[in-house]
């Protein structure tokens, strides 16, 4: 069957060689930012350009110890697979955030509820032009 073009659930989530299980949320952002220019008598921008991108990712897991063990400043590749909703071939999206730097990990848990932790990551480009965020279909 053809891929559904719908995603549900995450698998194969890892930071470097450390697998992350019990994942309930993953997010990726391209981190685009626009700069606007105006001068003289302009009342509106006359140029709008994308001068900087700061790709980011975050993962939330019930395995709080795994995420809290990642020290801020740790650099590794972060990868995650967003599964096709019906598990069809060619429908998964495999994300890789190269040069991901651990920014922060935080955890919380309410009385009578499962706890969770969230690890936030910010990536850099090795050469200043190659996007550290990539994805492919599988």
pLDDT tens digits for 87-131? 999 999 999 999 999 999 999 999 999 999 999 999 999 999 999
Nearest to 5 by CA among 94, 92, 95, 79: 92
The answer as to whether 79 is a domain residue is yes
Domain residues for 85? 10-31+45-137
| Torsion on CA atoms 124, 54, 77, 73, rounded to nearest 10 | 70
The answer as to whether 74 is a domain residue is yes
**pTM beyond cutoff 0.75:** yes
Q: Tally the domains of the chain.
A: 1
């Amino acid at each position: 069957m053809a891929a559904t073009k719908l995603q549900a659930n995450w698998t194969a989530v890892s930071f470097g060689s450390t697998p992350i299980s019990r994942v309930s949320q993953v997010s990726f952002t391209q981190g685009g930012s626009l700069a606007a220019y105006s001068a003289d008598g302009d009342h509106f921008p006359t140029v709008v350009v994308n001068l900087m991108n700061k790709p980011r990712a975050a993962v939330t897991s019930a395995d709080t110890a795994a995420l809290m063990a990642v020290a801020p400043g740790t650099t590794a590749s972060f990868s995650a697979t967003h599964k096709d909703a019906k598990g069809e071939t060619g429908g998964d999206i495999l994300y890789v955030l190269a040069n991901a730097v651990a920014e922060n990990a935080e955890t919380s848990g309410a009385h009578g509820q499962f706890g969770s932790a969230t690890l936030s990551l910010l990536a850099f480009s090795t050469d200043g032009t190659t996007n550290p965020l990539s994805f492919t279909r599988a």
